Amino acid sequence: MSIPINLVRGRGVGSGRPRQDSLCLRGADSKPVKEEPLSQARLFPRSLEEGLGFEYAMFHNQVENRTVCILQGGPYLQGIPGFLHGGAIATMIDSTVGMCAVLTGGAVMTANLNINFRRPIPLCSVVVINSQLDKIEGRKLFVSCNVQSLDEKTLYSEATSLFVKLDPKKTSP
C-alpha cells in the first residue's frame, strides 16, 4: 500500500529529537544549559518560500519499504549557474532515505550518507528520488536511492546510507 506523506508547509515535522520548537543550547560537556522557545524553527527543506527552494512530495510504500520523492529544486538552490547545488541534492536525498528509514524503523538518525553525483541537475527541473530499505541489522537500517529524470533516461545521482535507531537508554543522540 502506498501512502502520500503530507509535510505541512511552515510547520516543523520530526522525530521529536531534537524538538522542532525549541533551541537547546549545550555547554562544552554537552549538557543542556538553556532551553528557550524557538518559534521560527522549521523542517529545513520546508524553510524557504514556496516556489523558490525545495518543492517536493513524498510517497511511501509500506509493503515494499520504498519511499519516492518528486522534487523540483527552485532558483534559491543554485550551485553552478543553472544547476542545483550539491548540498541541496544531498538534503533531499537525506530527507528521502530518512523518511524511508523513519517510516520503517521509527526514531533514527543518519549515521552515514554516500552520494555519487553522476550528472548535474538543471535548476527548476523535476526529478524523482527512488529509495528503498535494503536491509536491517539490529539497530542499523541500510537505505539506498537514486535520483533520475522523470523519463528515467538520466541518472543524476546514486546514494547509500546508514541510519541508526536511537537507543532509548542513551540520553542524547
Ligand X SMILES: CCCCCCCCCCCC(=O)SCCNC(=O)CCNC(=O)[C@H](O)C(C)(C)COP(=O)(O)OP(=O)(O)OC[C@H]1O[C@@H](n2cnc3c(N)ncnc32)[C@H](O)[C@@H]1OP(=O)(O)O
User: Does 144 engage in binding with ligand X (CB under 6 A)?
Assistant: no
Closer residue to ligand X, CB minimum distance, 67 or 148: 67
Cα–chain center distance at 46: 11
Residue from 48, 70, 107, 109 in contact with ligand X (CB under 6 A): 109
User: Does 24 engage in binding with ligand X (CB under 6 A)?
Assistant: no
User: Does 13 engage in binding with ligand X (CB under 6 A)?
Assistant: yes
DSSP state of 122: B
- For the chain, helix (H) and strand (E) counts, in that order, are 1, 9
User: Does 94 engage in binding with ligand X (CB under 6 A)?
Assistant: yes
Helix, strand, coil in percent for the chain, rounding step 5: 15, 45, 40
Q: Which helix (H) or strand (E) holds 86?
A: helix 86-105
Q: Are 59 and 6 in contact (CB under 8 A)?
A: no
Is 29 considered catalytic here? Answer: no
The cell for 138 is: 539490529
Residue from 3, 24, 57, 111 in contact with ligand X (CB under 6 A): 111
Residue from 15, 20, 47, 72 in contact with ligand X (CB under 6 A): 15
Closer residue to ligand X, CB minimum distance, 33 or 111: 111
| Cβ-closest position to ligand X | 98
Nearest to 143 by CA among 135, 151, 153: 135
Stretch that binds ligand X, among 24-32, 46-54, 126-134, 165-173 (CB under 6 A): 165-173
Q: Name the H helices within 59-149.
A: 86-105
State in angstroms the smallest separation of the CB of 14 from ligand X.
5
**Interface with ligand X (CB under 6 A):** 13-15, 94-95, 98-99, 102, 109-112, 138-140, 162, 164, 166-167, 170, 173
What residues are annotated to the active site? Answer: 94
